[in-house]
A and B are shown apart, each in its own frame.
Chain A
Amino acid sequence: MEPIIRIQDVSKTFLGRDNQVEALRGINLEIQRGDIYGIIGMSGAGKSTLVRCLNFLEKPTSGTVFIEDKDLSRLTDKELRRMRTEIAMIFQHFNLLMQRNVLDNICFPMEIVGVKRADAVKRARELLQIVGLEEKEKSYPSQLSGGQKQRVAIARALANNPKILLCDEATSALDPTTTKSILKLLQEINQLYGITIVIITHEMAVVQEICSHVAIIDSGELAEFGTVEEVFTRPQSPAAKKLVFMTDQRSSEMRGKHCVRIVFSENSSFEPVIANMVLECKAPVNILQADTEDIGGIAHGHMILQLPEDEQTAAHMIHYLKERKLSVEEVEANV
């Protein structure tokens, strides 16, 4: 299938007064139509620069981006502006026009493309219904809560029926409950209208909540990508491991100990695996952390175990767990 977004060898270097910063280095990535693609990384990893390359708000120093096979670097200013009407964007700080009311904020992108006022108002009211803010059309942004502002921003982003929605840390300024409701709204939009969504975030929880795919950016480079399930159950790169394990605050306690991370999936939770393992190996294990994460609607339990010092028993345990089709991997002390 033809990808809707193709990032090809994108590098971006910012020139400072007396230094230069390589924000992105040789990024290659394909995003398929209808995906909810998470791009995750620590702050400063270059993910915000990368998402701005997708609509050429930042022009890559080298490499290019194809949107539905159109090379953005070959478009004229006018063509690029037209293209941008099909790639909507929402932001961490919402970026609404403070001097316009909710309805006029949503009409703004339609004014840009020259939609008639009456039609724009009609469409804006439909959108307000979708985001659940019908009664707020006359309010000004300063009268809304963060979650409501982001809903307005989403309605505004949908105004011109975009094919792609870019979300730059769209939930980072919101509390956990509001974050969940905004993510749910994004998911509905993706399912109802088939809009491809790219989500930039530094929170693994956001990716786990709604993304189908994830790419991990580390110091300007693409560290790893794949389906969320793959990356979550078997993170390969150090950056991915760091992000996946970030949920556990006890990594310092694991230092110098023999720890493994196991992931339960699907039916494996029916068998009391750990208890049976302890009985079989006749050695205790220390459960350092256990949690259940919902990834794409399937519950994934994961657990960090401290194995006995005795190498042979430890190896036996790992073998036992692997035999039961669990994903087991050693947790390095440095993560």
Chain B
Amino acid sequence: MSSTILLDPTILKMLGQGILTTLYMTLVSTIIAYALGLPMGVLLVVTAKEGLKPNAVIYKILDIVVNVVRSIPFLILLILVIPFTRLIVGKTYGPTATIVPLILAAAPFIARMVESSLLEVDKGVIEAAQSMGASLWTIICKVMITEARTSLIVGATIAMGTILGYSAMAGAVGGGGLGDIAIQYGYYRYQTDIMLVTVVLLILMVQIMQWAGTKIAKKLDRRLR
């Protein structure tokens, strides 16, 4: 059966479109979510009790926000933020609209990833930078983030995989992309073969991403050689 659908040009075109849409949602969401999550993660580390600039208020607020958002299931969050999505994008369905909840769900997740990566940086190296008279900003950019880059890339790869999974979930509410195709054809029309193909495609995408992420992380790590 799958050989017949894979030969059908309209289905092929649809799947190709699906891949592009999923990639678009995943990449754009990851980039924006990372741009939000990275400073949040840095703030969590810096304002923590043992951090460079302890600030209980900022830390507590961030900590709670991150925990609250992370504990809301993505499908619920998707529906909860509909008014906000409409405000920003102007509509509530389609790939661009899906990006809004994707970012909101992923940013706190990324913040935690960044936090744990930065906490792995040797305290002694940070102390050495302080002893040289480095400013907080220099320590964040040139010591913490640079020294943790391998771990940060691994974290970003994991986050991207999660976002890709979430983007497929958004298919349930007309989010577009491969997940949408799987639900439209596999669930509503009982075309299991198309659903299987989309699942295989999603798996392949995650695999490639993971492989590339690990490769880049290893390549940039100067500790092993």
Contact = CB atoms under 8 A, between A and B. Distances in A.
Contacts of B125: 95-98
A191 B123 CA distance: 32
Interface residues of B, number: 24
Contacts of A89: 128, 131-132
A93 B222 contact: no
A109 interface: yes
Contacts of A55: 131
Contact of B133 (A85, A96, A97, A142): A85
B146 interface: yes
Given A95-B124, A99-B222, A142-B222, A113 B146 contact: no
Interface residues of A, number: 30
B57 interface: no
Nearest to B147: A99
A219 B153 CA distance: 45
B189 interface: no
A234 interface: no
Contact of A111 (B128, B142, B220, B221): B142
Contacts of B147: 97-99
Contact of B223 (A93, A99, A111): A99
B128 A81 contact: no
A162 to B, nearest CB: 10
A84 interface: yes
B3 interface: no
Contacts of B149: 99
A124 to B, nearest CB: 14
A100 B222 contact: yes
Given A100-B222, A108-B142, A111-B142, A95 B133 contact: no
A128 B145 CA distance: 27
A84 B132 contact: yes
B130 A84 contact: yes
Contact of B131 (A82, A84, A93): A84
Contacts of B122: 93, 95, 98
A88 interface: yes
A95 B138 contact: no
A91 interface: yes
Nearest to B132: A109
A112 B138 contact: yes
A101 B223 CA distance: 10
Contact of A99 (B127, B130, B146): B146
A320 interface: no
Interface in B12-31: none
A98 B135 contact: no
Contacts of B131: 55, 57, 84, 87-89, 166
B66 to A, nearest CB: 25
A66 interface: no
Contact of A57 (B127, B135, B142, B221): B127
A245 interface: no
A142 B132 contact: no
A140 B225 CA distance: 9
B87 interface: no
A88 B147 CA distance: 21
Interface in A142-161: 142-143, 160
A143 B129 CA distance: 21
A274 interface: no
Interface string B112-137: 00000000001011011111111100
Contacts of A81: 133-135
A320 B122 CA distance: 58
B143 interface: yes
B224 interface: yes
A84 B128 contact: no
A87 B132 CA distance: 8
A83 interface: yes
B137 to A, nearest CB: 11
A140 B134 contact: no
A91 B128 contact: yes
B158 to A, nearest CB: 20
Contacts of B132: 84-85, 88-89, 108-109, 112, 160
Interface string B190-225: 000000000000000000000000000000111111
B122 to A, nearest CB: 7
Nearest to A160: B132
A109 B139 CA distance: 11
Nearest to B224: A142
A82 B133 contact: yes
Nearest to A98: B223
Contacts of A84: 130-133
Nearest to B150: A99
A112 B133 contact: yes
- Of all A-B residue pairs in the complex, the 5 with the closest CB atoms, nearest first, are A84-B133, A95-B128, A81-B133, A89-B131, A95-B124
7 contacts: A81-B135, A97-B146, A98-B223, A99-B220, A109-B133, A111-B142, A166-B131
Given A57-B127, A143-B225, A160-B132, 5 more contacts: A96-B128, A98-B122, A99-B146, A99-B223, A112-B138
